[in-house]
A and B are shown apart, each in its own frame.
Chain A
Amino acid sequence: MQQELEQWKEQVFHLWNVAIDYLRQVPLNQLHAFTIVLITTLLLYILRAWKRTKSNTIVLTGLSGSGKTVLFYQLRDGSTHQGTVTSMEPNEDTFILNGEKTKGKIKPVRIVDVPGHSRLRPKLDEYLPQAAGVVFVVDALDFLPNCRAASEYLYDLLTKGSVVRKKIPLLILCNKTDKVTAHTKEFIRRQLEKEIDKLRSSRSAVSEADVTNEFSLGVSGEPFSFTQCSNKVTTADASGLTGEISQLEEFIREYVKP
């Protein structure tokens, strides 16, 4: 055994000497150049791996008919063109927000508008892992009839593993506030909290067909409030049709640094 080790050691030494001789032969400049190239590539690699944790994607989601596609085009082009219909596929694009086009060189934002139709819900799971922030669009005009469906969707969103683990910030955007009969964001927030509270008790032991509520929300015994979520939940107003999207743009810029 020892003999083998010794032999092996000698071989290594020999190779080492050969390598050093070879290196000595190489002109110094080349050597320098080579090491510099090596170090820069390593540094770039590390930087990219570091940067990758900061995504630039914002996901727009919400019930069907809440105005996500309109908001998407407002953010991108500043106008809703000729109107929209129910989306059958997600809209995604990377662009500089329309309100900031004059500011010069800013990093573009990637926005994904996921269809709200219940049959297309699984598409949301494809985009959530890469999201830096989620915007949940609520129709402030037609809120009460859809309150239950909206709160169920929101509950599912807040209990998804990817959202909880990465603490993805959520903005509840009350859309269509240009109309007179639209509800206020405080009202909507309170209603959603109440509904989610009720959902918590009925969903505590039951899991849905495929999507499991992996985490439970809030503190048991206390009525639910959005402040109890591990990720930050805020509310804002907007109006897709008239272009009043300043609060939305602020949210986006808060989480996707220019």
Chain B
Amino acid sequence: MLEQLLIFTRGGLILWSCKELSNALKGSPIDTLIRSCLLEERSGAASYNYDAPGAAYSLKWTFHNDLGLVFVAVYQRILHLLYVDDLLAAVKREFSQVYDPTRTVYRDFDEIFKQLKIEAEARAEDLKKSNPVVVNGQRKQIGSKGDGSEGKKGRAGGGGGAGLKNDGDGKKGDNKSENNRFVANNNNGSNLKSNGGNNVSVNGKENDSVNNGAFDVNRLQKKVRNKGGNGKKTDNVVSKAEPKKVIKKNRVWDEKPPETKLDFTDHVDVDGDADKDRKVDFFAKEQGESMMDKDEILSSDSEDEEEDDDDDDSGKNSKPDAKKKGWFSSMFQSIAGKANLEKSDLEPALKALKDRLMTKNVAEEIAEKLCESVAASLEGKKLASFTRISSTVQTAMEEALVRILTPRRSIDILRDVHAAKEQRKPYVVVFVGVNGVGKSTNLAKVAYWLLEHDVKVMMAACDTFRSGAVEQLRTHARRLEIPIFEKGYEKDPAVVAKEAIQEASRNGSDVVLVDTAGRMQDNEPLMRALSKLIYLNNPDLVLFVGEALVGNDAVDQLSKFNQKLADLSTSPTPRLIDGILLTKFDTIDDKVGAALSMVYISGAPVMFVGCGQSYTDLKKLNVKSIVKTLLK
């Protein structure tokens, strides 16, 4: 049954809540929905799952953009109620007729709601009866088998009626790992598959796209919280059945192993080398101020001219046959300004925007979800007079982009460093990322910046795999005149890091910057090693280093990193990625979309931007200029 149905304004006042269903909701699902979904521009998704101790809710919502109202329905996740979407639409219709901006009490709506609920349930029953293959009578089974969030067995029991016919549907949902898992370890095979099939058909295509590749960090965090209980509840894990068991062998170029040892690296610092280098070294201090401390000056003159061009372009993109009629009516409407925006009106403008975003190197599915979210927030809104649809869409998209790129929490690292200093612990930063993104270079840049602010920095060379990595860091340390902790090659990075932190607290360093080896997100043993490093040392900041040149892979990288860090960690509260360092920003002219993809998919703020290869080339992300560039 429905747990609760709320109607509230966008400003936050609850206008109506169903009095009959007055079960108190455990936790605060509505607030979490707003903070993690609607304000994160994920309002195009079909539903949102919320887990609190003792309850697992699913939330569905709809907007009335013209009046600024939000309608939210909360129900238990194990009940796949079919009539919720229907009911929400009906409630929206009826309430908008009753709504009055000056009224705050709507008790007379109770009756209307009761009626609507009965109608919606009846319609759902009819649909069920006429379509026994697709839809299954789960509600009957819930009473007998379901017990709260332990839905595994409950699902096994449900679906007894449909039988073998549903195998086809079950196969359809093969992106849901739940299906595979249940198939692997159940005793009522066909029943489970049917449930999986229902999952797919009931929640529709949008839910698939939500649960598919794109990774929802919040769901992950919830999943992580319930790890002790039932980690298989949420169904967004990749559909791989067994983990890859790949052991990396040393590369052998010829048939016979090399006879002469050509690798002369040893971790003992030879004095002779130091003397030689010191003569050629120039100390980094004279390089000037790091660009982190400089403000960017925006040029605002070019803004207006650009906007006109864009409007023309998006106008041209609309369908050619409807062009003439479209132009006249849109001109008329733009002057009169009374049209209610329909989805079909928004489509051409949104499609143009999505294409533009994709040319700016935003990952495809991120652009898609963003456009859906903007559409959800504009549907039904009245156009202000003398505005065209394209400009309304543009403004809405701009606001959405600013909202996403604005950090959710403070990115003041210096403040955190000072706080850690007071507690007499070193502040540990771990740099993770795939191969070749610039971790070591940017680590040196961050060290340079911290040095400028009178912070004692120490480097830890935990990249014990790549040849020359330790020497590289050693060179940086010498130029910056900071201590470095290294143990050479072929050592366990987690242990090296641990010892480095102990050394740091001994010699009074404020910050420890830990460099790790680059690794692909699919490589299971390496990800496990990284997870172990993070678990063992509990760093204060896990910084994901990503290059701005990456395209659609950014989504995959970040989501898999987060996922692996959560899955392979042995602690109850695993650490996820806390911040992003965007590198090679100077190589992309205006294709700045990678920043958006990364922030959207992980929710972590961009803390630094690397824009060159020398020590001073480190900036902060300028949200307004990025948004301007994205929409140009």
Contact = CB atoms under 8 A, between A and B. Distances in A.
Contacts of B492: none
Interface stretch (A42-50, A112-120, A240-248): A112-120
B249 to A, nearest CB: 46
Interface in B410-460: 410-412, 414-415, 417-419, 453
B216 to A, nearest CB: 17
A189 to B, nearest CB: 21
A86 B31 contact: yes
A202 B11 contact: no
A85 B402 CA distance: 23
Contact of B406 (A86, A118, A149, A152): A118
A157 to B, nearest CB: 14
B34 A86 contact: yes
| Most-contacted residue by chain B among A87, A113, A121, A198 (CB, 10 A) | A87
Contacts of B112: none
B10 interface: yes
Contacts of A199: 415
Contact of B12 (A85, A118, A198): A85
Given A81-B14, A87-B11, A212-B295, A206 B408 contact: no
Given A86-B12, A113-B11, A206 B35 contact: no
B39 A84 contact: no
Q: What is the predominant secondary structure among interface residues of chain B facing chain A? A: mixed
Interface stretch (B198-206, B333-341, B468-476, B619-627): B619-627
A223 to B, nearest CB: 15
A174 B402 CA distance: 31
A94 to B, nearest CB: 13
A65 B34 CA distance: 12
A119 B11 contact: no
A88 B69 CA distance: 11
Given A201-B418, A206-B414, A117 B39 contact: yes
B13 A119 contact: no
B406 A122 contact: yes
Contact of A87 (B12, B409, B415, B620): B12
Nearest to A201: B418
**A: interface residue count bin:** 35 or more
Contact of A69 (B13, B39, B105, B415): B13
Given A87-B11, A202-B418, A210-B622, A120 B39 contact: yes
A209 B13 contact: no
A82 B415 CA distance: 40
B11 A205 contact: no
B15 A82 contact: yes
B174 interface: no
A206 B410 CA distance: 13
Contact of A88 (B12, B293, B408): B12
Contacts of A198: 415, 418-419
B620 A208 contact: yes
Interface string A60-101: 000011000100010001000111111111110000000000
A207 interface: yes
A257 interface: no
A66 to B, nearest CB: 12
Contacts of B409: 118, 149
A128 to B, nearest CB: 17
B292 A119 contact: no
A73 B13 contact: yes
A149 B293 contact: no
A69 B11 contact: yes
A209 B11 contact: no
B17 interface: yes
Nearest to A199: B415
Given A122-B402, A205-B293, A210 B624 contact: yes
12 contacts: A73-B13, A82-B15, A88-B70, A89-B10, A119-B39, A119-B40, A119-B408, A122-B406, A148-B415, A148-B419, A203-B415, A208-B620
Given A91-B12, A122-B406, 20 more contacts: A64-B35, A77-B104, A82-B16, A84-B12, A84-B13, A85-B8, A85-B30, A86-B35, A88-B10, A88-B11, A88-B34, A89-B68, A91-B11, A118-B406, A119-B404, A199-B415, A206-B414, A209-B620, A210-B622, A212-B295
Interface of B: 6, 8, 10-17, 30-31, 34-35, 38-40, 68, 70, 104-105, 292-293, 295, 402-404, 406-412, 414-415, 417-419, 453, 620-624
Interface of A: 64-65, 69, 73, 77, 81-91, 113, 115, 117-122, 148-149, 152, 198-199, 201-203, 205-210, 212
